[in-house]
Structure 1
Amino acid sequence: MTSEKNVQIGQAREAFQMLNQISQLLNTGLDQETLTICIRLCELGVDPESLAYVIKEIRKVGERETHNKVVNTQL
């Protein structure tokens, strides 16, 4: 690898670390793998607001299913 490529890789890692820290500070609940997927989707042109909406909706569905399982096991 050229030194320029090494610099780019280093900058990408640093940028990801900063995004991960911001994600943690904002308490998004995204792990590193999920954050990586979200970043890649945005790089491919997915609207960030739409992506955030979809993630929130998926979480709501998951919470409802978890709640329903708890209620059904208590019956």
Structure 2
Amino acid sequence: ETGEELYKTKGCTVCHAIDSKLVGPSFKEVTAKYAGQAGIADTLAAKIKAGGSGNWGQIPMPPNPVSEAEAKTLAEWVLTHK
């Protein structure tokens, strides 16, 4: 599956949009914050899979039911939104 397909089928749309903040940050905000950082796709993939909190406010992102490969595909796709 492509990153966009995973975004639509794995529940990401509940909290995230490409260009506007919902519960979580927009993908454009994520890309702007992390642009140019070495290894950031792997870091984001780990956060997608395991969940996390504190980077974007008080509301935590729960762990997501994705494989490591799916998480990496999603992270790489998220980072294409400038």
Bin of the TM-score, shorter chain as denominator length: 0.3 to 0.5
Higher relative contact order (CA 8 A, sep 6+): 2
TM-score, length of structure 1 as denominator length:
0.33
Structure in which a larger fraction of residues adopt helix: 1
Greater Cα radius of gyration, structure 1 or 2: 1
TM-score, length of structure 2 as denominator length:
0.31
